[in-house]
Amino acid sequence: MYATLEEYRNELLQNGKSKNTIDTYTRNITMFLNWIESITKEPFNNVITQMDTQTYSKYLTEQKLSLNSINSKITAITNYADYLAEHGYMPYIKVSRKKGHSDPKVEVLEKNELYKYLRDTISSGNRLHIAIVQLILNTGIRESELCNLELDDITISERKGSMIIRSGKGDKYRELPLNKDARHALSDYIQNGRPETNSKKVFIGQRGALNRNAIYKIINKIGQKSLGKNVYPHMLRHQCFTAMAKNPEVDLKTIAELAGHSNVELTAKYYIHSSKEEKENAVESLSFF
């Protein structure tokens, strides 16, 4: 790894950035620096120019990356350029995000697909899998938050339940209520399916506390077996909040707080927009005469 990039990574860690955010930033910056070296045929000298970022943005466009993907990479580069400037390696530069509009990719299962996925999960009798699926689907918890969940973070009674996310994305703290399906699945797993262990983590596999990769494999394996398609944890998270957004009795602010979003605009961006099918129908309905 580049020396200054390692220093930058350590600073992000000290500032409380999540491991997932740090890994994503580091990966995107490394790709950018490798690209610079491939163009200049020289080792990176800790200086990023505005021309570098503009040319790289055009390069990413030529690679047919989505607008969201391009701007995500540009954001990481901007943050790193600011770090280099703050530490005297280079002057500050203005880095512009690529302009345009693109609805974020929000992939969910069709109603009948979700029914079959959930039915097959429950029919398997695997308490661990049932608890994981029901918890993500009914709370929208992120897989990283799910991995960090500890027994002390959960409170369940006969009619109520809640859990605490102590350090979500952006190190945000929030409390989430648990509905009947989530409470029952969690209680059954903790009381009857969770292995004996000294670990305080809620979800335990054969090799100890589950990590994000293990959670992904569980969700995906069920999807492949049940539906023959790629199902992943964030899809179930989207399923949760997309369903809430369609309920006129649930306001956007409530969804934003449950999702752990920094603002309502972000929630609206993901869950309050016309579907691809609605846009196609709108175009097909055009009649000028």
pLDDT in tens, 75-113: 999 999 999 999 999 999 998 888 876 666 678 899 999
Count CA within 13 A, CB hemisphere, residue 215.
27
Tokens of 125: 């009798």
pLDDT value of residue 18: 76
DSSP string across 212-255:
HHHHHHHHHHHHHHHTSS---HHHHHHHHHHHHHT-TTS-HHHH
Is residue 270 a contact partner of residue 104, using CB atoms and an 8 Å limit? yes
pLDDT in tens, 117-150: 999 999 999 999 999 999 999 999 999 999 999 9
pLDDT in tens, 236-253: 999 999 999 888 898 889
Residue type, 282: A
Q: Is the dihedral of CA 69, 85, 18, 170 positive or negative?
A: negative
CA distance 72 to 25: 9
> Which residue matches tokens 């996310």?
165
Is 274's pLDDT higher than 60? no
Look at 20 and 84; give whichever has higher pLDDT. 84
CA distance 74 to 80: 10
Alpha helix (H) residue ranges in the chain: 3-14, 19-40, 50-62, 67-86, 111-123, 127-139, 143-148, 180-188, 212-226, 233-245, 252-259, 264-271, 276-284
Is 158's pLDDT higher than 70? yes
CA distance 124 to 243: 25
Query: Which domains are present in the chain?
Result: 3-86 (1.10.150.130), 111-271 (1.10.443.10)
